[in-house]
Amino acid sequence: MKIPDRVSANWISTLGDKDLLLAERKLHADFQTHEKSEKARSGARYMLLNGPPPLVNAWLRWLLVSNATRARGLVSTRAR
């Protein structure tokens, strides 16, 4: 599955439950990668929404899909 650069409600609505969960896992992994890198770089000064654009964009993409997942009553099985 290809996840678009701009996640939208229209794109999310085209996904079945399995694909939505897969997208949520992939986007969360991408966000975590960016977040770990930024935390290592900025240390105690880390602030998510004041981070670099790739970090904030990864968070926003994951957030939109995560919210849609919860709205459908689905539970992500990714490791926490």
Tell me the mean pLDDT in the region 52-65. 97
Q: Global pTM? A: 0.91
With beta carbons less than 8 A apart as the criterion, state whether 30 and 58 touch. Answer: yes
pLDDT at 77: 80
pLDDT at 62: 97
Report how far residue 20's alpha carbon sits from residue 2's, in angstroms, rounded to the nearest whole number: 12
**Burial letters for 10-48: b for 16+ Cβ neighbours within 10 Å, e otherwise?**
eebeebeeeebbebbbbbbebbeebbeebeeeeeeeeee
Selected residue with higher pLDDT from 19 and 77: 19
Tell me the mean pLDDT in the region 40-59. 96
How confident is the model over 8-28, as pLDDT tens digits?
999 999 999 999 999 999 999
pLDDT at 29: 96
